[in-house]
A and B are shown apart, each in its own frame.
Chain A
């Protein structure tokens, strides 16, 4: 008898343990997923946050009349002028290779920067004074403390010599750091310290606009037809299956469609937001249709009956009453689809939106790139400084995605069903 009792309690114990184990499996699974999310986002923020700050170096520049001709500013050799001033700051440097290193402290754009400063403020001319220039990417990283100084000199992109120069400059107050406006105001560049995301951002906005204006009307009209008017027959169920399948077709296949059909058959201009937007719109179409249909379905039939019962035609009943009530849901679905499109990369690679674009595109038929493609391109670049740029671009992308999703949530909250 005791035997039986111990047996049951043993059994019960093992059952309780199994129960506990099961519960913990679930917790661990969710824990791993969320831990990954936080680690990934955390590491990206960690790498990217330094982009918000950029460094400048000051040197004394003589802009006297024998250096710059006030009447003919543009003829001046600004690069040579700055190099001369750099040599004057560090007179002890004599070897050719060291001089080259010295010039490399400043951004490759230094001549142009000086020219801009003079044009903006002609009073600078005629005297010798301290002026600020953007530091080169390696110096920038060094000043922000992102360079590991414990490593062997050969493993770093910056030598001990350069580090000494910078230390000297820093001590004499000739370095400063400030908010990195350039990252948000510039287009792409071969020089990491000058590269910005504006061209990619504008490219993304243009592409998304095309995508929205094409997919939104088509998707909601299709959804309305399928949900409210389509007879229940073979054709409508074929369309339905079609849409569900399209929603799961790999995005790269849409890119192939764009390449073969839009570029090679229709001859639309390659690499442009127009084609990118069209391809993305075909991709988001099923997403919006499915969301819109769900939203239309949730409008109670009594509303339709009320309208039809008083002699509204089906079209009137739908467009006057059903669609306005379903609109918040439709818009939410649209925003979710747009957010997907914003992060989509592969199809854009297929249609050539992967080129190096330094200028901000001003129309949908100019070559452009998009934010996720820019991320892809920078992730591939060899300069160490592009790593933080990539992370920062990802942060910008995520901020936009978060904003869009917040908008969707707000819409959903605001128009929570009231009927």
Chain B
């Protein structure tokens, strides 16, 4: 086990190896196929955006990466998804440990109805990341600073988190996710419930965060994809139509469907 972990860490140093490799992934909800033979590489320390019309399977793919789909009893995943070259659907993988390494931010801000401090400290507490109070305080501050929220909440850490504004709540959810120090952060339309100003703040934050984390973001806004991501993958009706550098996808899409989507003709 030790050796394996070392091997994984050393892999990280090889800059050309993608952090996530999905190969021939099919997803079924009961008899309904939601994803058809998806193969996609996600590079490390970059923002990858998943775009496509509603119902095309973006969220489904995202939720495969930290196995949130396990919670849907009728959902069946085949194919292979590797993170740091480790098959996350392998027998010996513990989903709980996986999710500690692959964090998630949801569409609607969903802070726990507890204090701001407890929200951020919850992850480190259950994963035993800090041994004492001062460590924990430090970690909470670090996370809140990273999420750009520290200055706004440092005087009211003990207030209930649900009292924050929508944008602040979403940044708190990001802080909560990074407090566990995952390698990958999945974001499913993190700004769709927010106003433009809050959205701009979060976009800036995402750009900042990619220094430390690999980020995959689902978005319906072409502008957002163009602003924050370096890689883009376009999904259509359960298929991955094309993927590549964001610039290339937007300026010279190879597929007609991509062309139609980004110019607003479908979706």
Contact = CB atoms under 8 A, between A and B. Distances in A.
A–B contact with Cβ pairs below 8 Å: the answer is: yes
Tell me the dominant secondary structure on chain A's binding face.
helix
A309 B68 contact: yes
B29 interface: no
Given A311-B126, A316-B126, A320-B122, A232 B73 contact: yes
A321 B119 CA distance: 11
A107 to B, nearest CB: 60
B123 A311 contact: yes
Nearest to B71: A308
B122 A310 contact: yes
Contacts of B101: 311
B14 to A, nearest CB: 26
Interface in A313-333: 313, 316, 320-321, 325
A418 B68 contact: no
A89 B68 CA distance: 92
Contact of B66 (A302, A309, A312): A309
B97 interface: yes
A305 B110 contact: yes
Given A311-B126, A312-B126, A306 B68 contact: no
A231 B74 CA distance: 11
B99 A310 contact: yes
B162 A311 contact: no
A233 to B, nearest CB: 10
Interface residues of B, number: 27
Given A302-B106, A313-B96, A419-B162, A307 B68 contact: no
A39 B166 CA distance: 54
Nearest to B125: A320
Contact of A310 (B71, B104, B162): B104
Contacts of A418: 113, 162
B177 interface: yes
Most buried by A among B96, B103, B127: B96
A142 interface: no
Q: Which 8 residue pairs are nearest across A and B when measured between Cβ atoms?
A: A311-B100, A309-B104, A302-B110, A311-B99, A306-B110, A313-B96, A310-B123, A419-B113
Given A303-B110, A303-B113, 19 more contacts: A232-B73, A302-B110, A303-B112, A305-B71, A305-B104, A305-B106, A306-B106, A306-B111, A308-B68, A309-B66, A309-B177, A310-B100, A310-B122, A310-B123, A311-B98, A311-B99, A312-B96, A320-B126, A418-B113
Interface of B: 66, 68, 71, 73, 96-101, 103-104, 106, 108, 110-113, 122-123, 126-127, 162, 173, 176-177, 180
22 contacts: A302-B108, A302-B110, A303-B112, A306-B111, A306-B112, A306-B173, A306-B176, A307-B122, A308-B71, A309-B99, A309-B104, A309-B177, A310-B100, A310-B122, A310-B180, A311-B98, A311-B101, A311-B126, A311-B180, A316-B126, A418-B113, A419-B162
